[in-house]
Structure 1
Amino acid sequence: MFNKVIKPAGRFRLDNIEKLRKELYRNHDVVDLFDLKNNENYRRTISSIAKTSLSTPKFSAFLHRLIEYLNVETVLETGTSLGINALYLAGPERVNKVVTIEASPIIASFATEQFSKLLQQKIEIKQGTIQEVFEQILVKLQPELCFMDADHRSDAVDFCIESIMSHCASIKCIVVHDIYWSKDMHQSWNRIVKDERFSLTVDIFQAGLIFPFIQMPKQHFTLHF
């Protein structure tokens, strides 16, 4: 995987998506948002959201290459944000469907506009919280890869993983973003690594990879990304 996924991600880019990323960095339009965790309204520019919420181009490219490597056709993403990763997830020719979940209706609407700019019809955005919509979408879609990048709390991560293991026998890989985001997230990742159900786990620092149904002696790897 290192030579076919991680190493090539350093130089692989989708130019049309990277052009859009730069446009988002320069977009100073203000949007009114609502913080579900703190139950309060706040305002931010698209530029500030892009600079703090978007993955690096290298990580977006990693997601694209991972999907190609695993021959994935269906993808479920939690945490759409401005839509850059969803566009990379939908990029491989073999992919026929990406469903991405976003809690904020304003951000979901904005991301939909970005998808339309690139005529990306493979992507369907669902507005709602993880607790509200994740399990229902999971059962219907039966994704082969799930990219978790929404609620960075261990109880949300645990909920998603348990739902996947209960309802999705087709899953090839679960990608948990920001495993070093907080002490809580890191502890959650350490529990995953020790979980005997997961024969293969990989730590690339920006994310943790879980391969749930590989038949092999339990192994864990840390790779430089």
Structure 2
Amino acid sequence: MLFQIKSYLKFLWKSKNEHAVHSPFVFNLLTKCFYDKKAKSEYAILNTYRKSFLQNKNTIEVTDFGAGSKIFENNTRQISKIAKTAGISPKRTKLLFRITAYFKPNSILEIGTSLGLATSALALGNPKATVTTLEGCPETARLAQLQLQKFNCTNVESVVTEFESYFRSLQLKLKTETKNYDLIYFDGNHSKKATLDYFDLLLPTVSNDTVWIFDDIHWSPEMEEAWEIIKNHPKVKVTIDTYQWGLVFFRYEQEKEHFIIRAS
């Protein structure tokens, strides 16, 4: 906890808003997407999706392949508490929806479905997109699948799998065919090794317009180390650190730039 407080204070000290940004690409993203205060009809759907889980007092047995939880002491967890503490926040759900609507990605990959709170934002952000969401825990995935069907998120393909085995099979496919993901949301394993492994395994799927979003880049010292390595990778051209998220862009035509931005 002390680490995260210090990390956040450092972020506040260094962070800027749109007035300090000279990149047209980033300036437009901030003013037309990040700071867009207009009401969206989809927000009500996202809120209702979340509310139904917040009211669910049943428990499930969670299979956790990631770095573990700082909230829960064991794997028997109440659904309402998962929705309240372990999922994406309401504010970030709306921002993820706006980012998806802004870039209009056709092919989306989500690493870590959980209850599908972020999945619903991705699906509603561009209903024409194909959203593939990966979840290692069968029970959590089942709940998300039922909820996504209930809310007519018909453009979602849910895959229950261990992430690394999925990426290995993807690598084999990439030897004979081209596969691009226009947007990838990384929220499945908050460890340095896993984050960097996923980064390397998925690099062959990027295009000039690909957007990657890494969740919890300041979750631990090792996640901050992973973020620094990602920022310095030669294929990465633009990054935006919003404290909770790290956004990565591979725009071949752009000079390398890093931004620390207050999301709102």
Same topology, TM > 0.5: yes
Residues 173-212 of structure 1, C-alpha deviations (whole Å, 9 max, x = no match): 1100110111111111011122232111111111001102
Partner of 2:55: 26
Structure 1 residue corresponding to 2:190, chosen from 149, 152, 155:
152
> 1:179 touches 1:185 (CA, 8 Å); kept in 2?
yes
Equivalences for residues 35-114 of structure 1 within 5 A: 35-36=64-65, 42-93=75-126, 95-114=128-147
Q: Which moved more, 1:23-32 or 1:77-86?
A: 23-32
Aligned length: 225
Task: Give the structure with the higher percent strand.
Answer: 1
> 1:32 touches 1:42 (CA, 8 Å); kept in 2?
yes
Partner of 2:11: none
> 2:66 touches 2:188 (CA, 8 Å); kept in 1?
no
Matched, 1:128 2:161: yes
Partner of 1:169: 207
| Structure 2 CA distance for aligned equivalents of residues 82 and 106 of structure 1 | 10
Q: Which moved more, 1:144-153 or 1:87-96?
A: 87-96
Where does structure 1 differ by over 6 angstroms across 4 or more consecutive aligned residues? 38-41
Q: Unaligned stretches of 5+ in structure 2?
A: 1-28
Q: Which SS does the other structure have where 1:36 is aligned?
A: coil
Structure 2 residue corresponding to 1:195, chosen from 233, 244, 253:
233
TM-score by length of 1: 0.91
Structure 2 residue corresponding to 1:186, chosen from 201, 208, 224:
224
Kindly state the Cα deviation for residue 167 of structure 1 after the two structures are TM-superposed: 3.7
Instruction: Name the structure, 1 or 2, with higher relative contact order (CA <8 Å, separation 6+).
Output: 2
Structural RMSD (CA): 2.4
Q: Which SS does the other structure have where 1:187 is aligned?
A: helix
TM-score by length of 2: 0.78
Q: Identity across aligned pairs (percent)? A: 26
Partner of 2:23: none
Q: Which is higher, the Rg of structure 1 or of structure 2? A: 2
Residues 101-152 of structure 1, C-alpha deviations (whole Å, 9 max, x = no match): 0000011111001011112110011001111113435858631000000011
Residues 46-67 of structure 1, C-alpha deviations (whole Å, 9 max, x = no match): 0111111111122111111112
Q: Which SS does the other structure have where 2:248 is aligned?
A: strand
Partner of 2:256: 218
Q: Which moved more, 1:32-41 or 1:57-66?
A: 32-41
Q: Which moved more, 1:34-43 or 1:192-201?
A: 34-43
Q: Which SS does the other structure have where 1:157 is aligned?
A: helix
Kindly state the Cα deviation for residue 88 of structure 1 after the two structures are TM-superposed: 0.6
Q: Unaligned stretches of 5+ in structure 1?
A: none
Kindly state the Cα deviation for residue 43 of structure 1 after the two structures are TM-superposed: 0.8
Q: Which SS does the other structure have where 1:181 is aligned?
A: coil
